[in-house]
Amino acid sequence: RSDAPGLVIGVSLKGQRIYRRGFGLSSIEHGTANTPSTRMRIGSTSKHFACLAVLLLVEDGKLDLNLPLRTWLPELDGVAGEPTLRELMHHSSGLRDPYDLAWLLLCGGYPALLPQGLALELTRRFTSSNFARGERMIYCNNGYHLMSLVVERVSGEPFGTVLNKRILGENLEVSAIGLGCMGMSRGFGPSGAKADMIAVIRDAVERGVTFFDTAEAYGDNEELVGEALAPFTEQVVIATKFGFEI
């Protein structure tokens, strides 16, 4: 139906996209149709990426999982500033959740996105917790919202931007997720066909990956990666070990 909420379908075969199509509406209110490029709300799947962003900053020496939250969000000067990032990750902070409050005020209706800054302000006003931090576990969306704010404060960039890139060394910027290419020519099992592997690498570039790993020790992997990325040499960074024959 073209007048009902819809979805976007993508089918990939051997590393190549063979079908992409949007069905139905992305907005009933505005009559906007879904297209293959429509961005869908991914809900709590975003929590995995919040953890990854925090851990990458820990690896960079910019965050400490065991310091209290108010280290980076000093406005949380009450009980909400006491939990650590580790406890937020584990849903063991004991923090109350502004999203639960919105749900209660709507008498069970699912809350729309809260206005920017409101969740932090409500959290700042909390005078008590559900339980002593680290003592129990209760699923808490607010913990991950606060983690995203910490990532923004420490990195100096919007959360989405942090997820899209990484800085390696000085002024070397790459995508946050890279592609290791060893198994495409040599690994613990049979390798795929060369044409298929080249298609996989080029599809990764299309999806925003700009960091690729290879090595002379992987057999003809440098040649494979070099051929696949030849059209994109100004857009990507290639890390290689023991050899430079690309």
Task: Report the 3 state secondary structure along the chain.
Answer: CCCCECEEEEEEECCEEEEEEEECEEECCCCEECCCCCCCCCHHHHHHHHHHHHHHHHHCCCCCCCCEHHHCCCCCCCHHHCCEHHHHHCCCCCCCCHHHHHHHHCCCCCCCCCCCCHHHHHHHHCCCCCCCCCCCCCCCHHHHHHHHHHHHHHHCCCHHHHHHCEEECCCEEECCCCEECHHHCCCCCCCCCHHHHHHHHHHHHHCCCCEEEEEHHHCCHHHHHHHHHHHHCCCCEEEEECCCCC
User: Is the pLDDT score of 243 beyond 50?
Assistant: no
Mean pLDDT of 125-137: 91
Mean pLDDT of 155-169: 76
Mean pLDDT of 72-97: 92
For the question of whether the overall pTM of this predicted structure is more than 0.75, the answer is no
- Minimum mean pLDDT among 101-110, 139-148, 152-161: which range? 101-110
Given this model, what pLDDT does residue 154 score? 95
- Minimum mean pLDDT among 17-31, 69-83, 105-119: which range? 105-119
Mean pLDDT of 180-202: 80
Given this model, what pLDDT does residue 179 score? 83
Given this model, what pLDDT does residue 245 score? 44
Residue 192's pLDDT band (cuts 50, 70, 90):
confident
Residue 129's pLDDT band (cuts 50, 70, 90):
very high
User: Is the pLDDT score of 246 beyond 50?
Assistant: no
Share above pLDDT 70 across residues of the chain, in percent, rounded to a whole number: 83
- How many Å apart are CA 228 and CA 230, to the nearest integer? 6
User: Average pLDDT over the chain, rounded to whole?
Assistant: 82
User: Is the pLDDT score of 219 beyond 80?
Assistant: no
